[in-house]
Structure 1
Amino acid sequence: MISRRTISSLLAGLLSSLMVLSASAQGFPNKMVTVMVPYPAGGPSDAVARLVQVEYEKSLGQKMMVENLGGVSGALGIQKVLSAPADGYYQLLGTPMELVMAPLALSAVKFKPEEVRLASLLGRTSIGLAVRKDLPVNNLTEFLAWAKGKQVSYASIGQGSLYHIMGERFKTLTGLDMLHVPYKAAVQIYTDLGGNNVDMAFVPVAGPIIGMVKDNRFKIIGISSTAPHPQLPEAAPISAQRGMSDFVFDIWIGLQVSKNTPDAVVQKLNQAMNEAIKSEGFVKGMTTTGSQVPAGMSVADLDKFYTQEVSRYRALFKAANVEPQ
């Protein structure tokens, strides 16, 4: 039987630990923070980190260092953050691709989506339904009529990628006969789509894509967001099509920390980043690339949002019969 003295000692130790954590959170941050971008320098996520850095440093009151570590679809960088002390000084800039989908698609990924907590959303990128330019269609209704009775090839950057999951969901909702054609890199998809070698693909409406559409390399006939894209207003939301109301996808990018990070620290990060993303320079920079800056969300709303995202993609992976490879 455990003695009263032992119980008292354990309770005293627990209380002491909680007091240390509380004091640490109250003084946060009192040194430089590091933000991990789980990809090599120069990519889209890295560009967002550099774009927000100055304003985030101002609102946080400390310097911020950007660290890049690519590998295993972003999992190496995430695992490094999760292995560090959960005190808020080692943060992560991630998207659902590496946070949620990589653990579901790759057996080499050892962490679970629930091991991270979302502290702020910085941006959202719409996804377009792109088709080869020689198709006699200009909108989703015309495309569905054209595709009826045919086998439609759709490209993605591989099994278990967001674009593969979207393709399988599109197939289920439309009832079309669709053939998945996996590629190793997005640039190969754009080349083959522009060369009329594949019928369709889901592509991020950001960076070079808008220029490719304006150069008539391929068409975008629908958007997977709930509203048209500002730079491609003629492409209507796919969810407006009858029977496709739940076909809503985008690529969000957010600031994350370990789930064990003290609530008070997460709140400070949330307030600092929500303030940083309102700056004129950040909004202009994101808009120029084709992405949109969301309204700031509270930690409670972010917890709910992230939980829903994890549950949703688990269900989509299951429905598509995608197992970790």
Structure 2
Amino acid sequence: MRRRDVLSGLGMGLVGATASGPAWAQAFPSKLLTVVVPYPAGGGSDFVARTAQGEMQRLLGQQIIVENVGGVGGALGIQRMLQAPADGHVMTLASPMELIQSPMAMSAVKHKPEDMRLAAMIVRAEMIMLVRKDMPANTVDELVAMARKPGAKELSYGSVGTGSMYHLMGEVFAKQTGVKCLHVPYKGAAPIITDLLGGQIDMVFIPLAGPVLGLLKENKVKALGIASRQPHPAFPQIPTLASSQALDGFEYDLWAGMVVPKATPDAAVEKINKAVYEALQNAEVRKAYEGTGQHVAKPMSVAELAKLYTAEIARYQAIAKGLNLQPQ
């Protein structure tokens, strides 16, 4: 599904555009900009994209539209961008789930992670392990010990789909602990939370952001640990999963950033990079992101982002290989 939201123009006009010559030869940006969100409007990715768009529009001096293109694990949104000219005027707000993980797990996905380049990172969020409130265990090690007992039933965990971060973490947990787990895929995070609260599933690995903050503050679920090196500043009482005996080195987070086709000219990528990081210095923008539990990304150069993205591709492909994950 698609939804186009035209943000009001700020009257800054074209920046150095010329009337002739190919788009890449003109000063970027030379026309309307589009940010594709690979999910329906109203979700977490949509919020991240729209929160920065006003400032980015002011800084780039061009009108911006946000276009929601959901489906196939985010792949339809990626394809929408890849089918446009690779001149930087169509970019995507994406995370490793759409860029790297979906191609590993879904045969319907046609793009490869290497088809894109990361222009700027916007936010990061820790992944947290939640279990149903009536779960007898209060720590990861207690849960593992309970699940290893003879006759214990397998632990069910929810995910937003095969190959997603939620799914990979569940499978790594099962492999690392030797515990039998049942993967229960959902169409989104909201129904996972509903079933966790209702006791239909045992646990979930989910970003520590958005509605999860309320669940924790209202003690509606148990948080057994955060998949980071350090505890979250807002929840210092929740230990890291890596500090448990069962999950040594269990560290994962989820980032979201602006992505463009690989062939996009360097000048355009550099300008997007600069606009994003200047937008992130705006106090209201930062407050909006931090209010949802996310961390505003630190500025990184295009070269640094390329190195990080390459490392992320290698990391998740190695995890998938270790799990023998096959496209379905």
The aligned residue for residue 156 of structure 2 is: 153
The structural deviation recorded for 1:242 is 4.2
**Aligned positions of 1:270-285 closer than 5 A:** 270-285=273-288
The aligned residue for residue 182 of structure 2 is: 179
Higher helix share: 1
**Aligned positions of 1:118-137 closer than 5 A:** 118-137=118-137
Q: Which runs of 5+ in 2 are unaligned?
A: 1-20
Structure 2: how far apart are the matches of 1:152 and 1:43? Answer: 28
Distance 1:258 1:305, change over 3 A: same
The structural deviation recorded for 1:245 is 4.2
Q: Give the residue type in structure 2 aligned to 1:43.
A: G
Greater mean deviation of Cα atoms: 146-155 or 68-77: 146-155
CA contact under 8 A between 2:24 and 2:265: conserved in structure 1?
no
The aligned residue for residue 67 of structure 1 is: 67
Q: In the TM superposition, what whole-angstrom CA distance separates every residue of 1:88-129 from its partner, at most 9, and x where no partner exists?
A: 111111111111111111111111111000000000121110
Greater mean deviation of Cα atoms: 169-178 or 275-284: 169-178
**Counterpart check, 1:314 vs 2:317:** yes
SS of structure 2 residue aligned to 1:289: coil
The aligned residue for residue 97 of structure 1 is: 97
Structure 2: how far apart are the matches of 1:172 and 1:39? Answer: 31
Q: Give the residue type in structure 2 aligned to 1:274.
A: Y
Q: Give the residue type in structure 2 aligned to 1:160.
A: G
Structure 1: how far apart are the matches of 2:92 and 2:273? Answer: 13
Report sequence identity in percent.
Answer: 48
**Aligned positions of 1:1-325 closer than 5 A:** 24=25, 27-149=27-149, 150=152, 151-242=154-245, 244-325=247-328
Structure 2: how far apart are the matches of 1:90 and 1:225? Answer: 33
Q: Which runs of 5+ in 1 are unaligned?
A: 1-19
CA contact under 8 A between 1:127 and 1:249: conserved in structure 2?
yes
Structure 1: how far apart are the matches of 2:138 and 2:95? Answer: 31
Distance 1:297 1:230, change over 3 A: same
Q: Give the residue type in structure 2 aligned to 1:173.
A: Q
Distance 1:28 1:188, change over 3 A: closer
CA contact under 8 A between 1:193 and 1:199: conserved in structure 2?
yes
Q: Number of paired residues?
A: 305
The structural deviation recorded for 1:152 is 2.5
Q: Give the residue type in structure 1 aligned to 2:78.
A: I
CA contact under 8 A between 2:127 and 2:227: conserved in structure 1?
yes
Computing the radius of gyration over CA atoms, which structure comes out larger, 1 or 2?
A: 1
Q: In the TM superposition, what whole-angstrom CA distance separates every residue of 1:164-201 from its partner, at most 9, and x where no partner exists?
A: 11011111222223232333443332223222332221
TM-score after normalising by structure 1: 0.87
The aligned residue for residue 6 of structure 1 is: none
Structure 2: how far apart are the matches of 1:303 and 1:116? Answer: 10
Structure 2: how far apart are the matches of 1:23 and 1:101? Answer: 31
CA contact under 8 A between 1:132 and 1:218: conserved in structure 2?
yes
Distance 1:87 1:182, change over 3 A: closer
CA contact under 8 A between 2:226 and 2:238: conserved in structure 1?
yes
The structural deviation recorded for 1:53 is 0.9
SS of structure 2 residue aligned to 1:28: coil
